[in-house]
Structure 1
């Protein structure tokens, strides 16, 4: 009987150790998740700010420019092409950031999954 109690105590201690390790791992994953979400939010906010600034520049140029001569039209077309490149750069950077965050989130998802087999 004492052997049974001893074995139960060992099993209980082993289970506690496993739960404590899982708790530490989940706490680390939670901290990393918070960091990833915060960084993703900051990146999205910055991309939106840049796009809004580009939009404001285009709107201001439209308000100021009455294109009446071919030379003015070509200059305005170059301006718009430059703004298109800026928009494209912002979107490419935002997409790369989102893809990088998706990889991290997938790895975190794997950490959050509970294994059905004992460790």
Structure 2
């Protein structure tokens, strides 16, 4: 009987140890997830601010623009092309950030899966 109790206590201690390890692993994964979500949010907010600033610049330029000569028209077209490039750069950077976060989240998904137990 004492032998059975000893085996149960050993099994219980082993299970507790495994749960403690799993708890630490999940806490680390939670911290990484929080960082990934936080940085993704910050990157998106920054991109939106940049796009809003460009929109304001374009709207101000349109409001002030009175194209009366071909030279002014070409200058305004160059301005708009430069703004288009800025917008494109912002979108490309946001897409790259998004793609990087997808990789992080895919890796984290594996860490959150319940490990299979051998029976």
Same fold (TM over 0.5): yes
Residue 116 of structure 1: how far off its partner (Å): 2.5
Q: Distance in 2 between matches of 1:115 and 1:29?
A: 14
Task: Let me know the Cα RMSD of the aligned residues.
Answer: 0.8
Aligned to 2:29: 29
Q: Choose 49-58 or 64-73, whichever is displaced more.
A: 64-73
Aligned to 1:15: 15
Q: Distance in 1 between matches of 2:100 and 2:17?
A: 34
Gaps of 5+ in 2: none
Q: Deviations over 1:28-47 (max 9, x none)?
A: 11111111111011000000
Count of equivalent residues: 118
Q: Distance in 2 between matches of 1:117 and 1:40?
A: 35
Gaps of 5+ in 1: none
Aligned to 1:73: 73
Aligned to 2:100: 100
Q: Which runs of at least 4 in structure 1 moved beyond 3 Å after TM superposition?
A: none
Q: Does 1:109 align with 2:105?
A: no
TM-score by length of 2: 0.96
Q: Distance in 2 between matches of 1:60 and 1:67?
A: 14
Aligned to 2:43: 43
